[in-house]
Amino acid sequence: QVQLVESGGGLVQAGGSLRLSCAASGRTFSSYAMGWFRQAPGKEREFVAAISWSYSGSSSEYYADSVKGRFTISRDNAKNTVTLQMNSLKPEDTAVYLCGAGPKVERYAFWGQGTQVTVSS
């Protein structure tokens, strides 16, 4: 079982930056793929970014086209955290951002409650 708690959301003007964090409980954090998703009112949940894991400790990053070049995902296995650095924010980035953990980047078994990000124009 993994429990996830997101933080770092807020209100920012277009062009600004926010840094989201997801703190995970559990001793096996390093063996989970981690991802960020977002859901805007009236819309489906959509993939934002993900980071894999491997026995060697290396990881790969994946991004939605809409955020590529603006967002960066990273993980700190020693601190059980995954971070999403969001730069050059746009009003269309406004959504609840959720953190997920799972066996691979294509499949998630655990979810956090989400943190609201609002970008004003």
Residue 97 has pLDDT above 80, yes or no: yes
% of the chain beyond a pLDDT of 70: 98
Residue 98 has pLDDT above 80, yes or no: yes
Residue 43 has pLDDT above 90, yes or no: yes
What pLDDT score was predicted for residue 56? 73
Find, among 89, 84, 78, the residue nearest to 34 by Cα. Answer: 84
Residue for token pair 């650095």: 85
CA angle centred on 106, ends 33 and 113, rounded to 5° = 65
| pLDDT range class, residue 48, cuts 50, 70, 90 | very high
Under 8 Å CB-to-CB from 80, ≥6 apart: which residues?
Answer: 23, 24, 25, 26, 29
Report the 10 Å Cβ neighbour count for 109: 11
Residue 54 has pLDDT above 80, yes or no: no
For residue range 99-118, list pLDDT tens digits in order.
999 988 899 999 999 999 99
